Amino acid sequence: MEEVRKLFTAHLENKGLRKTGERYAILEEIYARSGHFDVEELYAGMKERGLQVSRATVYNTLDLLVEQGLVSKHQFGRNLAQYEKSYGYRQHDHVICTECHKVVEFCDPRIHGIQTMVGELLNFHILHHSLNLYGICGDCRAQAAARSSVSPA
């Protein structure tokens, strides 16, 4: 967390922005979480803990953190943006259920090999990648099967 705070402080200073307690509270709230979250979940979680922060500050701070590379922003096929902390976390990809919108992370070293090979083949220095696979999870398939096996009375 100390390193993340230093990087964020440097980013704020470089942009000539104020280093406010609210911005650091948002950063700490994000890095205390696991998994993905949306703005409303983050805002509600902070309010529940008694932290005074405006929705606008949450949105603006998230933009700064994404810009800095400390947080990643995803659009998993819906209009609702999802975020996750990214500093010091390994590259991973996502499988998203199109029914319940569950997001599962996975890491497969073969993807890194493909990335390296494609970069060499096409003379690109690959900086990062994003892979999202969409389908229907086992729980949703089981629920659909249970519904279809129930015959009308």
Q: What is the pLDDT of residues 48-62, one digit of tens each?
A: 989 889 999 999 999
- Please, are residues 103 and 82 in contact by the beta-carbon 8 Å criterion? yes
The annotation places the binding site for Fe cation at 93, 129
Q: Residue 115: is its pLDDT beyond 60?
A: yes
pTM for this prediction: 0.71
The annotation places the binding site at 93, 97, 100, 129, 137, 140
How far apart CA 133 and CA 67 sit, in angstroms, is 25
Strand partners, 103: 96
Could you state, in order of their start, the residue ranges of all structural domains in the chain?
1-89, 91-153
Find the mean pLDDT for residues 130-136.
Answer: 90
In CATH, which superfamily holds the domain spanning 91-153?
Answer: Ferric-uptake regulator, C-terminal dimerisarion domain (3.30.1490.190)
How far apart CA 23 and CA 10 sit, in angstroms, is 13
The annotation places the binding site for Zn(2+) at 97, 100, 137, 140
Q: Tell me, what amino acid is at 109?
A: P
- pLDDT tens digits for range 8-31: 999 999 999 999 999 999 999 999
Question: What is the structure's pLDDT at 152?
Answer: 63
Q: Tell me, what amino acid is at 141?
A: R
Q: Tell me, what amino acid is at 29?
A: E
What architecture (CATH level 2) is domain 1-89?
Answer: Orthogonal Bundle (1.10)
Question: What is the structure's pLDDT at 151?
Answer: 57
Residue that the structure tokens 């729980």 belong to: 139
